[in-house]
Structure 1
Amino acid sequence: MLTRKQYDLLHFIHDRLRRDGVPPSFDEMKEALDLRSKSGIHRLITALEERGFIRRLAHRARAIEILRLPDSFESAGAALPSAREAEAPVATPTAAAFFELPVMGRIAAGTPIEAIQQVSRNVAVPAAMLAHQGRHYALEVRGDSMINAGINNGDLVVIQEQSTANNGDIVVALIDGEEATLKTFRRRGGTIALEAANPAYETRLYQDHQVRVQGRLVGLLRTY
Structure 2
Amino acid sequence: MQTTNPLSESDVLRFLQQQHQRGRPSPTLREIAAHVGHKATLSVQRILNRLEQQGLIRREAQQARNIRLTARALPKRGLLLIGQIAAGPLTEAIEDQEFLDLGALYDPGTHRGLRVKGNSMVDAHILDGDIAVIRLQETCNDGEIVAAEVDGEATLKRFFRRKDHVLLKPENKQMKPIRVTDVTIRGVFVGLVRKS
Same fold (TM > 0.5): yes
Q: CA deviation at 1:92?
A: 5.6
Q: Deviations over 1:117-160 (max 9, x none)?
A: 231x10022634x37x9611101000000000010000001110
Partner of 1:169: 144
Among 173, 182, 185, the alignment partner of 1:213 is: 185
Mapped partners of 1:141, 1:116: distance in 2: 12
Amino acid at match of 1:174: E
TM-score by length of 1: 0.54
Amino acid at match of 2:104: A
SS in 2 for 1:125: coil
Amino acid at match of 1:180: A
Mapped partners of 2:104, 2:127: distance in 1: 22
Q: Deviations over 1:165-188 (max 9, x none)?
A: 101110000002x11100000001
Amino acid at match of 2:174: A
Contact kept in structure 2, 1:90 and 1:136, CA below 8 Å: no
Partner of 2:83: 105
Mapped partners of 2:109, 2:167: distance in 1: 25
Partner of 2:24: 84
Mapped partners of 1:146, 1:117: distance in 2: 21
Contact kept in structure 2, 1:109 and 1:182, CA below 8 Å: yes
Partner of 2:43: none
Amino acid at match of 1:214: R
Mapped partners of 1:101, 1:157: distance in 2: 11
Contact kept in structure 2, 1:173 and 1:214, CA below 8 Å: yes
Contact kept in structure 2, 1:92 and 1:101, CA below 8 Å: no
SS in 2 for 1:159: strand
Contact kept in structure 1, 2:70 and 2:109, CA below 8 Å: no
Mapped partners of 2:173, 2:69: distance in 1: 36
SS in 2 for 1:220: strand
Contact kept in structure 1, 2:71 and 2:109, CA below 8 Å: no
SS in 1 for 2:89: coil
Amino acid at match of 1:183: K
TM-score by length of 2: 0.61
Amino acid at match of 2:89: T
Q: Does 1:123 align with 2:100?
A: yes
Structure 1 residues 147 and 139, CA gap change in structure 2 (3 angstroms): same
Mapped partners of 1:92, 1:150: distance in 2: 32
Mapped partners of 2:125, 2:70: distance in 1: 25
Q: How many residues align?
A: 134
Mapped partners of 1:219, 1:200: distance in 2: 24
Q: CA deviation at 1:189?
A: 1.5
Q: Over aligned residue pairs, what C-alpha RMSD do you find?
A: 2.7
Partner of 1:182: 156
Q: CA deviation at 1:223?
A: 1.0
Partner of 1:70: none
